[in-house]
Amino acid sequence: MPLKTWIDEIAALCCPKRVHLCDGSQEEFDAIAAEMVRSGVLVPLNPHKRPHSFWCHSHPDDVARVEENTFICSQKKEDAGPTNNWKDPLEMKQILKKLFHGCMKGRTMYVIPYCMGPLHSPFSRIGVEITDSPYVVLNMKIMTRMGKTALERLDAASFIPGVHSVGVPLQPGQKDVPWPCNPMNRWIVHFPEERAIWSYGSGYGGNALLGKKCFALRIASTLAHKEGWLAEHMLIVGITNPAGEKKYFAAAFPSACGKTNLAMLTPTLPGWKIECVGDDIAWMHFGADGRLYAINPEAGYFGVAPGTSFKTNPNAMRTIAHDTIFTNVALTEDKDVWWEGMEILSASSPPLTSWLGTPYDPASGKPAAYPNARFTVSAKQCPIYDKEAENPQGVPISAILFGGRRASTVPLVFESFNWNHGVFLGASVSSETTAASKGEMGRLRHDPFAMLPFCGYNMGDYFAHWLEMGRKSSSEKLPRIYYVNWFQKDNAGQFLWPGFGDNSRVLKWIFERTDHKGEAIDSPIGRLPKTLDLHGLQGINLDRLLSVDRNAWLGECDELFGYFKLFGDRLPQGLMEELKALRGRLEQ
């Protein structure tokens, strides 16, 4: 459908006060931000401490992904699979038509053309988001290549349409609220056959920034399945050893499990260097040489603020020193930002404004910043932004890492025996839940490939697609696959591994393994390091960190067998064969 025809149709349905086609200019950003400051939505931060930056807070019930309200509306229910919510597309369209009728009354309807991926990459895609949220416009400006440049690349027959509304129409003379949303009526809906996205009722994060999880993962994963590539919830980093040799790794972890920290890691090993291509999403295609190449479809970071500090992630702290939007962190008296983990507050510290916009009481026992508080910032501000991040062909991937937050059982690192075994490791990922998704924190849940909330089709078919990708090239050219776990704890609940910059010691072993140099020992679950470079570290119990408890792993096998049954006949036989082989090795 031609873009103008679609815009006119949505405007007729939603009845906005006016329509604004975004050009993506800095002047446009500044004008919208200034209006949001006047209306009390944004608070400008101290220009001497955090220039060109803003603070805002959301509604208390609009703070994270809402997976229970997220739907894949494929024509057939079985194509959505057992891990996605599904409704019949016709039924859902009737629901959405009623919700969106007149939903933008009294508001501006913004039309946002944007590009996911480097502007001149053959692997990039164009989307257009229609929204009534100026907050979304500002964030999409940072997170994507948005405006005139994207519009010039738009092919009317192939852009991904997305419609978003906060779901709060304004009547004549009605005063708006700082964070309009409709928490009692939220819908984040994907129509994979039509490649369309509709979102209603939430103004937060991936529920509203439709280029992120909705397009770059849920819709893109269906495109990748059909077209023979991979759209993954993965960071991309460049790693250079002291000799100057550089390799690229991709890594998948559930949200808020250290992805951004790894993507911006400062190595503790002398002479090693890390550079960041992306911290969240990777689109991977095979090159003419048979290797897997990755681009980062995003242009910015929507990172978790709490826990980020100069100790845990100095590069992130330098990245957000200016031109950043902060959402749901605490506000200091002198108009700077604060969150748990940044620095210790003393009794004499000036008072804070909490993420709720109210005076913070330290005696309340509640956090000053919401655990899923975020910063939105351009990737190009990162001091270790990789010069190849804008390469239209992408960067060649030598290793893929999977991992989650596990207090026990899973060793610090181990290598798959081959590609199929690596796919099995990705399918077996489970992790303790975090604040990035609404619901109980700390419980263990399966999160295959860290894609549980983001796969746009039947995950059994997704597993089969990964196995098929391994048949597209030779084993020598495919990335090696690893499983890592930074989060093991001792009996007193203390972490066994220091993590952060010391994770470079694990990356060094992986780097050397891809060159057939690092030494490994076969175990029932995979290949373990014979040793790691622990120079300068004291008190590390490497034997425990790399131990394999056969009884615990037999329990993992039982758990996985029950989980895999969820996918019925859509589970590829290759994964069940890998599970049986694992059990056989454990029982020897």
For CATH 3.90.228.20, the residue range(s) in the chain are 231-300+386-548
Instruction: Please give the average per-residue pLDDT across 38-57, as a whole number.
Output: 98
- Name the segment(s) of the chain with CATH classification 2.170.8.10: 301-377
Contacts of 426 (CB under 8 A, 6+ apart): 252, 400, 402, 448, 449, 466, 481
Comparing CA positions, the residue from 392, 145, 150 lying closest to residue 293 is 392
Contacts of residue 334, Cβ cutoff 8 Å, sequence gap at least 6:
46, 49, 350
pLDDT at 443: 72
Report percent pLDDT > 70 for the chain.
98
Task: Extract the runs of DSSP E, i.e. beta strands, from 268-394.
Answer: 273-278, 282-286, 292-295, 300-304, 324-327, 330-332, 337-338, 352-353, 374-378
CATH code assigned to 3-41+68-226: 3.40.449.10
Tell me which of 56, 181, 214, 257 is the catalytic residue: 257
Q: How confident is the model at residue 1 (pLDDT cuts 50, 70, 90)?
A: confident
Domain(s) of CATH 3.40.449.10: residues in the chain = 3-41+68-226
Q: What is the pLDDT of residues 238-293, one digit of tens each?
A: 999 999 999 999 999 987 688 999 999 999 999 999 999 999 999 999 999 999 99
Q: Is the pTM of this model over 0.95?
A: yes
Q: What is the pLDDT of residues 155-193, one digit of tens each?
A: 755 899 999 999 999 999 999 999 999 999 999 999 999
For 231-300+386-548, the fitting CATH number among 3.20.20.70, 1.10.287.3510, 3.90.228.20, 3.30.420.40 is: 3.90.228.20
Query: pLDDT per residue over 513-547, tens digit each?
Result: 999 889 999 999 999 999 999 999 999 999 999 99
CATH 3.40.47.10 fits 301-377, yes or no: no
Q: Is 571's pLDDT higher than 60? A: yes
- Using CA of residue 273, residue 276, residue 279, residue 284, what is the dihedral sign? negative
From the list 436, 309, 308, 312, the residue with the least C-alpha distance to 372 is 436
Is 115 annotated in the active site? no
